[in-house]
Structure 1
Amino acid sequence: MTMLPPVLPVDDIHRRLQLIFPEGTANRNYVTREIAAKTVFVMLYVGAVDANARWIRPDQVTRMTDARAAMTEDRHREAWLVESMRPATGDIEGRWYAVNTREPIRDETLRGGLVLIGAVAERPGLATTSPSPRYALTESFSALFDPALTEEQLEEAIEAWRDANLSASALARAAILRSGVIADETQVLVTLPNGQTRSMAAGPSSIISKAVAEEFAPRFLETPGLLWLSESRNKVVEQDNQLARSLGLTIDPERNLPDMILVDLGPEHPLLVFVEVVATDGAITEARRTALLMIATEAGFRENQVAFVTAYADRDDTAFRRSVSELAWGSFAWFMSEPDQVALWHSGRESPERIKLSALIRL
C-alpha cells in the first residue's frame, strides 16, 4: 500500500512556493500562484510522488473541493483518488476550477513551470496522447512540504534543493534580482561610466538604472559616456552638459527626456542611446521613439546614430509582459537579470531588400 505523505494546507504550500522560487526564477508566476499551490496540494493529497509510481491528471486538480481537502484521513484520500479518476457525472459542487482550467494547469503550471524546473516528473513510457495520469512530484521536491519542518530546517532544505535542481544560469538570474532587493533601504549608489558615483533614491527604477550604467553600458558600448540620468519625479541625478555640447546636443530638462541618455564615443560617428527604465511603465513605444528621435535629429544626429533601449528587471516581470506588445520596432530590450543578452525588435521596413534570417542570426 502507498504511504501517503502528510498534507500541508494550501495557504502554507503557496507561501513555501514563493520561498522556493525567488524573484528571477524563469516563469516564476506559473510556479508560485495559487493554482500551482493547489496542484501541489492535490499531488500530496493522493500521494502522487514519483517514488510511489503514483500519478495524476490535470483535471483532478479542477475536481478537488474545500470540503474534500479538509478530509485528510488516509481512507478519505484513497477513496477520492479512485473517485476523481472516474468520468464525472454531473456538476461537482464547490469544485476548485472549471473543467477547461485543466489546460492552463497542464500547459503553464506543469509543462511550462514545475516540470521544466525539475519539481514534477512525467510518467515514463506514456504516449503523449494518452489520457492516463502523467504527473507526480519528485520525491526531493515533495519533502519541502513536510509540515514537521521548522523554519530553519525549511530554509536549509530549500537551499539544498535549489543547489541540486536549479541550473547555474537560473540561480545566477535569481541572485542578480535578489541583489536589488537587499540594497540600501534609502539610497542606491550608481557608478557612472567615468568612474564617478551618484546616489539615487532607493526603488526598483533606481536599481535598474544602476544596472544599465554598470552592466549594460560596458557590455554593449565601446567607449560609454553618460549624458543624462534622472529618477522619479523628474529629479536630475547627473547631467554632463560639457560632453553634450561637444556632441552638439543641448540637454533641456524642461523637455520630455528619457530616464537615461548614454553615448558611445567608440565608433567613428558617436552613437546616442536613449534608455527608458521600466519598473512599472514607460517603455519606448513608437510614439516615444519618434519624439526622442526628433531630439537627436535636431542636434544633427542621423537616425543610424541613435539607439533606443527599454531596460527591465527581468523577462518574467509583469512590467515587461504588460508592455512588450507596445515596444517600438527598431528598438532594443535589455534585462537586468540577463545582462549579457539584448533583444532587438528588428524592422525591415526601411530596407529595399528584406534581410533574411540567415543574416540576422549572424548579428
Structure 2
Amino acid sequence: MRTVIDPELAEERLGWIFPRTAFDTTLSGPIAAWAVASLIYMDAVAPADEDPPAWARPTTILWQQQNVLDGRTEQADREEWRTAALRGRKAYEDLLVDWELEISPRYRENSRETLRDEVFKEWLSLNVMRQRPGLSTTSNLPRWALEGHFADLFDPTLEGDELTEAIGRWTDDYLDAGARLRAHRGRESASSEYAVTVSLPDGQQRTLEHGQSSEILKGVIEEWAPRKLVDPVVLTISEPGDKVYVGDQRTLAVLGVQIDVASLLPDAVLVELGTKPAEFWIVEAVYSDGPIHERRKAELLEWAAEQRINPDSCRFLTAFSSRNASPAKRRLKDIAAGTFVWYLDEPGLELELSLIEDGSEKVIPLRPSAP
C-alpha cells in the first residue's frame, strides 16, 4: 500500500495540479483532498491495465475520519477498515468501537452527490479517476478508484524539483490540449500572484514560492528571529525547485563558512551574531512532514561540519503552522532532544526539549547549625 497522506498535503498538491484560477475550485477543495487521502488509505488505486485492489463508494470516503488517518496506518489496519467500510455503515462503526475510536466522520452522507457529480465525474474526464466497467447506473456496488499515475503525485517523499517536474509530466501526458494550457497558465499565474514576500533582518526582501511552508518560513524570519535573537542574519533559504538564497558573502567569509548549494540544505539557516561565538540556527518549516528528529539532527550536524560550521554552535528549530495542525500533533513525539519547536499562530511562544540535569550529581550545601 502507498504511504498514508494528510488531507492538507493532498489539498496543497491538488491546488498545483488544478490551479484554482484555471479549474473549478471543487476539483482542488477540501472534499476533493479528503477523497484523495481516503482513496489512498484504502488502496482504491488502479495500476495501469489492472483493476485496483478495491473500488470505493462516495459514502466509503465520507465515513473516513481524521483519527483513523492519524492513528491506524499499518497495512493490516487499513485492510480491516476497508473490509468493514465496504460491508456497510454498521460494520464500519462496529470496527471503530473495537478500536476505541470516537465515531466522528468529517463529512455527512448528504455530501455524496457533490463528491460523485462534481468531483468524481469531472476527474473522470481528466484521467484522474477510473470507473468500474460493466456496472449499471443503478448498481450500488462500489465503482470508483484513483488512477495510479495520478496517485503517484501524492507521494510525500516527492518534493522540490522532482514534484514540480512530476506534475508537469503528468499534465502533459494525461490532460487534453485545452486542459494542459489552462493548467500551465494557472500555475504560472499562481506562482506570481500568491508569492510570499519575506523581509530579512537587514531590510532586504526575498520572494518565496507560494505555499504554507513559505508562510511558516516568513514567520520564522519576521516573527521568531526578532524575538529570539539579538543580531540575526539569514544565511540561506531553501525552497522547492532549485531556488536557494545564500546570504551576504562577506558575512560568510568572516564566519569562515562555505555554503555548498549542491548539497541537501535545511529550509533556512540563521546566524546569531549577538553571541560569542556566533550561534547557527538550523530551521525546518514543516507543513506536511520533515521535523528535526534524531536522525535528521545527526544529518544536519554532519551537513554543518561540511560547511565549516562548528557543530557545538548549532541550534535547531522545527516550525509548524499551529500546534493544532495534524503534522504538529503527529510529529511532536519525534522531535529531537535539545531542539526547539515554534508555531506560526503563537509567535511569542516556543517549546524547548531540554535534557534534565541529573539531580543525584548535585552537591547540596549543609545548612549552618543554629546558634
Q: Could you say which TM-score interval applies, normalised by the shorter chain?
A: 0.3 to 0.5
TM-score (norm 2): 0.46
- The structure having more radius of gyration, on CA atoms, is 1
